[in-house]
């Protein structure tokens, strides 16, 4: 029975006795008075509590024995929040044009009040119309390209996004915003940075850590910040725009190949590695932290190809080299090592590394350390690995190195050319 989903035993009897069910708006008198919506319980929950979603957007559990009175206010008419479709916003003459592409994720999500889950249900047009401030900054054209959580965004989706963006390389848009889930956003930004290097207008990825129906949501502010950045920065490249910290006053704009998500839930989860964010967005001011020569002046020649036969191997004490042998036997053409310190892996791996090198597999070394540069000539073990064919990748972030290797492998003809491009600074993936 979905109207009592997750409830059993005493809590189920409590709901039935009081003639309320999941989705009902109620007022509850306990230690204090609570108002909210009855939420479903998760599997294996106890039968002594009910779950209430407060108007603030947060869930609380209430012990049924301490509830003095429960009063039904109204019954939710639909299984989900009803998203009100606003009319399309009228275009304002003289404002710049921006394309908003939605791929799903928390920024395009609402709470499903029957399942209790955050689900991607907003379209790009709804994202646009739900933030009316955007219409005062730019004329936004919106399109829903995908509807996926970020963990479901795969390399084939990167290709799809890049191909769509490439269609607008000669358009009159001032920039393109991509709304995506945050967990794999820096993988997407890395691929777009390589595949669309030199793109004539800025490409900005934006997401949120909290869904747009929560009082603490950062979705609107991040979208507004990304729009302001495009209209005021007079730059190009691929960026990620998110909160700088928990404060709503400033947003950070990170170069797409120098950024990681470093916190699971904080608004300021994204950080530029090894430097300050490229730009800080505060009110209507854009503070620039990079030099005019930061980006190479590339002639735009899209190279939207990749080969996913690249593995990212995180070395740890006790790593079984047979795992590396399996990667080799599976036909992988590239291996990115996330090694210790200055770029090391244990000598138990050497024989497998030698085998991989003899098969012509590209071998690149990055570091598990958050910051710093690979230096494989300092210690004997590093020099041994150089002799075995491992290429040090300077201060490239491991995930970025993985994506670059996939991209490079899809666009080159031989191993020597791959080594050359992997060491070439294509999209600021290597910093000084």
Q: Is 182 a catalytic residue?
A: yes
**What is the SS3 assignment for 345?**
coil
Are 185 and 255 found together in one domain?
A: yes
| Structural domains counted in the chain | 3
**119 noted as active-site residue:** no
- The number of residues making up the chain comes to 432
pLDDT value for 335: 98
What CATH number has the domain bearing residue 138?
3.40.50.1170
Both 131 and 238 in one domain: the answer is yes
Residues 13, 144 share a domain: no
Catalytic residue (choose from 103, 110, 182, 408): 182
**Domain assignment present for 377:** yes
Indicate whether 104 and 224 sit together in one domain.
yes
- Any idea what the CATH number is for the domain that residue 34 is in? 2.30.30.520
Conformational region of residue 274, where left means phi above 0, alpha means psi within -120 to 50, and beta covers everything else: left
Note whether residue 431 is domain-resident.
Answer: no
- In sign, the C-alpha dihedral spanning 220, 221, 227, 231 is positive
Question: Residue 37: what pLDDT?
Answer: 87
Helices (H), 210-254: 219-232
Same domain assignment for residues 51 and 125:
no
Please report whether residue 186 resides in a domain.
yes
> Does 386 map to a domain?
yes
**Residues 127 and 255 placed together within one structural domain of the fold:** yes
Integer Cα distance of 23 and 2 in angstroms: 10
Please list the rounded mean pLDDT of every run of 10 residues in the chain (432 residues): 77 92 90 88 75 74 93 60 45 91 69 49 58 86 85 96 97 96 96 96 91 64 93 94 91 97 92 95 90 68 97 98 98 98 97 97 97 96 97 98 98 93 95 82
Predicted local distance difference test score (pLDDT) of residue 77: 45
273 within a domain of the structure (yes/no)? yes
Q: Name the active-site residue from 24, 110, 141, 183.
A: 183
Residue 305 lies in a domain: no
What integer pLDDT is reported at residue 56 of this predicted model? 64
Same domain, 242 and 107: yes
Is position 261 annotated as part of the catalytic site? yes
Q: Which of 228, 235, 257, 261 is catalytic?
A: 261
**The predicted structure's pLDDT at residue 80:** 38
H or E segment to which residue 335 belongs = strand 334-339
Catalytic residue among 106, 184, 272, 408: 106
- Domain co-membership, 232 together with 284: yes
361 domain residue, yes or no: yes
Give the model's pLDDT for residue 55: 72
Q: Which of 288, 320, 351 is the last residue of a domain?
A: 288
Residues 242, 232 contacting (CB under 8 angstroms): no
The domain of 259 spans 97-288
- On whether both 141 and 65 belong to a single domain, the answer is no
- Global pTM value: 0.80
CATH number at residue 357: 3.40.50.40
Looking at the fold, whether 66 and 11 belong to one and the same domain comes out as: yes
C-alpha 348/C-alpha 57 separation (Å) is 52
Is 365 in the same domain as 278?
no
Please tell me what DSSP assigns to residue 224.
H
Whether 166 is in a domain gets the answer: yes
CB-based burial of residue 10 (10 Å sphere; 0-12 exposed, 13-18 middle, 19+ buried)?
middle
DSSP string, 70-133: EEEEEE-SSSSPPPP-PPPPPP-TTSPEEEEEE--SGGGEEE-TTT--EEE---HHHHHHT-GG
Q: Given this model, what pLDDT does residue 270 score?
A: 95
**Residues 358 and 280 reside in one and the same domain:** no
């Amino acid at each position: 029975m979905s109207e009592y989903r997750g409830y059993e035993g005493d809590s189920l009897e409590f709901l039935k006795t009081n003639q309320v069910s999941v989705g009902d708006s109620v007022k509850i008198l306990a230690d204090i008075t609570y108002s909210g919506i009855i939420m479903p319980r998760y599997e294996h929950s106890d039968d002594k509590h009910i779950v209430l979603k407060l108007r603030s957007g947060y869930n609380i559990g209430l012990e049924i024995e301490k509830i003095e009175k429960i009063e039904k206010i109204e019954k939710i008419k639909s299984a989900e929040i009803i998203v009100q479709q606003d009319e399309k916003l009228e275009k304002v003459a003289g404002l710049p044009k921006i394309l908003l592409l939605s791929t799903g994720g928390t920024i395009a999500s609402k709470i499903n009040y029957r399942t209790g889950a955050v689900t991607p249900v907003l379209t790009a047009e709804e994202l646009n119309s739900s933030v009316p401030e955007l219409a005062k900054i730019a004329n936004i054209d919106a399109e829903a390209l995908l509807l996926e959580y970020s963990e479901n965004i795969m390399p084939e989706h990167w290709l799809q996004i890049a191909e769509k963006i490439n269609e607008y390389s000669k358009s009159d848009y001032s920039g393109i915003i991509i709304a995506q889930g945050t967990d794999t956003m820096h993988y997407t930004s890395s691929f777009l940075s390589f595949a669309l290097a030199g793109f004539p207008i800025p490409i900005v990825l934006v997401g949120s850590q909290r869904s747009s129906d929560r009082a603490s949501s950062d979705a609107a502010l991040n979208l507004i910040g990304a729009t302001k950045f495009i209209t005021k920065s007079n730059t190009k490249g691929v960026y990620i725009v998110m909160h700088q910290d928990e404060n709503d006053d400033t947003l950070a704009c990170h170069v797409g190949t120098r950024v990681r998500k470093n916190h699971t839930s904080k608004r300021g989860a994204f950080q530029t590695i090894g430097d300050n964010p490229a730009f800080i967005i505060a009110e209507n001011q854009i503070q620039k932290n990079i030099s005019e020569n930061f980006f190479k002046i590339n002639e735009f020649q899209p190279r939207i190809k990749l080969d996913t036969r690249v593995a990212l191997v995180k070395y740890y004490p006790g790593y079984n080299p047979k795992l590396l042998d399996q990667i080799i036997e599976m036909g992988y053409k590239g291996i990115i090592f996330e090694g210790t310190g200055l770029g090391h892996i244990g000598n138990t791996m050497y024989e497998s590394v030698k085998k991989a090198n003899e098969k012509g597999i590209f071998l690149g070394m990055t570091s598990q350390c958050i910051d710093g540069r690979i230096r494989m000539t300092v210690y004997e073990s590093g020099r041994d690995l150089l002799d075995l064919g491992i290429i040090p990748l300077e201060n490239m972030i491991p995930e970025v190195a993985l994506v670059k290797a996939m991209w490079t492998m899809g666009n080159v003809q031989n191993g020597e050319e791959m080594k050359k491009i992997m060491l070439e600074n294509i999209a600021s993936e290597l910093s000084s």
